[in-house]
Amino acid sequence: MVAEPFLSPTPSHLFGTDWFGRDLLARVMVGGRVSFAVAFLSVAGGGALGTLLGLLAGYFRGPFGAAILGVSDGVLAFPPVLLALVLAAVLGRGIPGVVLALGLFNLPYFLRLSHAATLTLREREFVLAATAAGVSTARLLFRHILPNLASPLLVQATVSLGAALLAEASLAYLGLGVQPPHPTWGRMLGEAQSWLGRSPYPALFPGLVLALTVLGLNVLGDLLRDLLDPRVRPLLFSPFGPRPRGERKGEGGGAP
Amino acid sequence: MLRFLLNRTVAMVAMILLVTMAVSLVLTALPGDAARLVLGPEAPPERYEAVRQALGLHEPWPLRFFRWLAGACRGDLGFSFRYPGHTVAEILRRGLAVTLPLAGLVAFFSFVLGVLLGTLSVSRLGGLLDLLLSMGNQVFLAIPEFWLGILLVGFLSLRLHLFPAGGFPGWGEGRAWLHLALPLCVLALPRVAYFARLSRAVLADVLFADFVRTAWAKGLAERAVLFRHTLRPALVPLVAGLGLTFSRLLAGALVVEQVFSLPGLGGYAVEAAFGRDVPLLLGMSALVTAAVVVASTAADLAYGFLDPRIRAS
């Protein structure tokens, strides 16, 4: 059952309907599934691999570490949208290319984070104690060093998830990712652009939901960072208190 | 100084080499080959062979990459597949004519405006104005810029007819600026928020330093304390952000360029990817990587001017 096209928001169609008379609220809800899946997959994949490589580069240092950092800088130098386009030329326009591109885009941030933290952690007494107790390198890395990275990694993952959602929407707008007729926020916006003269709602609501989602994730990231940072925690609940060293760490979400 | 420059140049060349090599290798993995793409599926076999020879596809990858590199060093990036008869260099020049001024203007204005807003925030640290500005930054960092672009086109162009809805008449026309006004605003807004947030964070760190307290104790005016004593030592990370923002814009303005149908680098990149135009994608990757590396080196050089301690080392 399809309603009249270009309906304004009404009680039976809260977001209105699009050019085919499809309910916009339903399409926005379904579209979010793909966007979230792609963002989660790329952050989880890129984050896990980046963290692992950062641990190794930080622990072993030397030419091995330098090589890993160099390659990561190379990836960071390459713009994510262009990366996605190059991969689209090879893998086609489907989801795998987009996940791979966004995963690669996320990887260096996690790598630098875990590399920097590992460099300082490896000099600490508990690492020395574990080594003296005869703990194997793998166990040392994953059971003794990695847990100490949990909170900055969690903060980075939250911020990265928002950035990945934004990037996924841009790529979908360009026609990369899940193909029609399946809806996704970015492509809904792209299609709505040609109907702007008739009704603003198909272009308004998917973007609004996307913006609110990203805003929510960014605020959550800020909050987590403050909660997990013992230096800032006492200041957190005095709403106007200055945040001396809070803001800079989570800035890694990527320059726009 | 000379040693630093030499080191950076070597690193720069290595980085460009690494990235173009990776891109070239990835593009070689394309299923189907370029000659087929140029000619279409029905071409006779002898023409197909001739084109393969002409494009050098019968040679192994390392040799091809070396040839491309040798050409690239002389400024010859080869011919485009997607736009037959045009060289890659010519297409890139045409795209840059729009994208370069756009990226430069956006980076400059968002840096100045963002740092001003950040300074304003810090001058009222913890106050109502600071809170409102911080909230505004969060909001503008979360808004997808192409969505903002679509909404502005819908409202200002289609409804109120204040601005053209898209396209670009070329620099000779007086209306060129009118066509760039909306894309400029749309690209600048999230970047202003980025710089405002970054500068607020950096400045808030410096604000509690002893030398700032000394400046206050000397009885200096607020403006002098903020701009001369607090902002100057905070400029180094901000300039790093400026370099990154500018170089990211060359390829990062792509989506907004598409929204406003501007004939910048972005449109060519999309066409190249969907048309599997290997030489154009390769040339564009080389150009953009070079821009990123040059911008970050320029930012490193600027640190020396801003911070004598870095100059000394």
C-beta separation of B80 from B86 below 8 A = yes
Tokens 């040798």 label which residue? B70
Q: B183 and B61, same structural domain?
A: no
Inform me whether the C-beta atom of residue A89 falls under 8 Å from chain B C-beta atoms.
yes
- Sort out which chain A residues have CB atoms less than 8 A from B15's CB and list them: 73-74, 77
Minimal CA separation from A3 to chain B, in Å: 24
**Residue B147 belongs to some domain of the structure:** yes
CB contact under 8 A, A79 and B138: no
Of A167, A61, A149, nearest to A106 by C-alpha is A167
Inform me whether the C-beta atom of residue A207 falls under 8 Å from chain B C-beta atoms.
yes
Residue A212's pLDDT is: 94
Domain count, chain B: 2
Q: B266 and B134, same structural domain?
A: yes
pLDDT at B221 over 60: yes
What average pLDDT does this structure show over B288-299? 84
Residue B110's pLDDT is: 95
- Sort out which chain B residues have CB atoms less than 8 A from A93's CB and list them: 274
CB contact under 8 A, B208 and A88: no
What average pLDDT does this structure show over B34-52? 71
**Residue B99 belongs to some domain of the structure:** yes
Inform me whether the C-beta atom of residue A73 falls under 8 Å from chain B C-beta atoms.
yes
What average pLDDT does this structure show over B210-230? 89
Inform me whether the C-beta atom of residue A214 falls under 8 Å from chain B C-beta atoms.
yes
- Report d(CA A143, CA B44) in Å as an integer: 63
Q: How many CB pairs under 8 A join A and B?
A: 165
Residue B78 gets which letter from DSSP?
-
Residue A249's pLDDT is: 40
Task: Categorize the per-residue pLDDT at B31 as very low, low, confident or very high, splitting at 50, 70 and 90.
Answer: low
**Residue B191 belongs to some domain of the structure:** yes
Q: B185 and B58, same structural domain?
A: no
**Residue B58 belongs to some domain of the structure:** yes
Least confident of B65-79, B121-135, B188-202: B65-79
Q: B280 and B228, same structural domain?
A: yes
**Residue B104 belongs to some domain of the structure:** yes
**Residue B21 belongs to some domain of the structure:** yes
Domain encompassing residue B68: 15-73
> Is the confidence metric ipTM above 0.90 for this complex?
no
Q: B97 and B50, same structural domain?
A: no
Q: Which residues of chain A have pLDDT under 70?
A: 1-2, 230-256
Does B105 or A234 have the greater pLDDT score? B105
- Sort out which chain A residues have CB atoms less than 8 A from B29's CB and list them: 90
Q: Is B122 exposed, middle or buried (0-12, 13-18, 19+ CB in 10 A)?
A: buried
**Whether residue A108 has a cis bond before it, omega within 30° of 0:** no
pLDDT at B9 over 50: yes
- Report d(CA A219, CA B212) in Å as an integer: 31
Q: B125 and B34, same structural domain?
A: no
Distances (CA, A) of B106 to A49, A85, B1: 34, 24, 31
Mutate to test the interface with B, among A193, A223, A232 (most CBs of B within 10 A): A193
Q: B121 and B23, same structural domain?
A: no
Q: B135 and B23, same structural domain?
A: no
Q: Residue B211 has which token pair?
A: 């030398």
Q: B116 and B36, same structural domain?
A: no
Residue B107's pLDDT is: 94
What average pLDDT does this structure show over B264-284? 86
Least confident of A184-188, A213-217, B18-22, B46-50: B46-50
Tokens 């909306």 label which residue? B182
- Report d(CA B124, CA A74) in Å as an integer: 40
pLDDT tens-digit map of B112-132: 999 999 999 998 888 899 999
Report, at the CATH architecture level, how domain A24-230 is classified: Orthogonal Bundle (1.10)
Q: What is the mean pLDDT of chain B?
A: 84
**Residue B97 belongs to some domain of the structure:** yes
Query: With left for phi above 0 and alpha for psi between -120 and 50, is residue B75 left, alpha or beta?
Result: left
Q: B298 and B204, same structural domain?
A: yes
Task: Categorize the per-residue pLDDT at B33 as very low, low, confident or very high, splitting at 50, 70 and 90.
Answer: low
C-beta separation of B90 from B96 below 8 A = no
**Residue B1 belongs to some domain of the structure:** no
Distances (CA, A) of A149 to A49, A51, A117, A225: 14, 9, 7, 13
- Sort out which chain B residues have CB atoms less than 8 A from A246's CB and list them: 201
C-beta separation of B57 from B35 below 8 A = yes
- Structural domain spans, chain A: 24-230
Task: Categorize the per-residue pLDDT at B190 as very low, low, confident or very high, splitting at 50, 70 and 90.
Answer: very high
Q: B44 and B107, same structural domain?
A: no
- Report d(CA A235, CA A241) in Å as an integer: 6
- Report d(CA B286, CA B267) in Å as an integer: 17
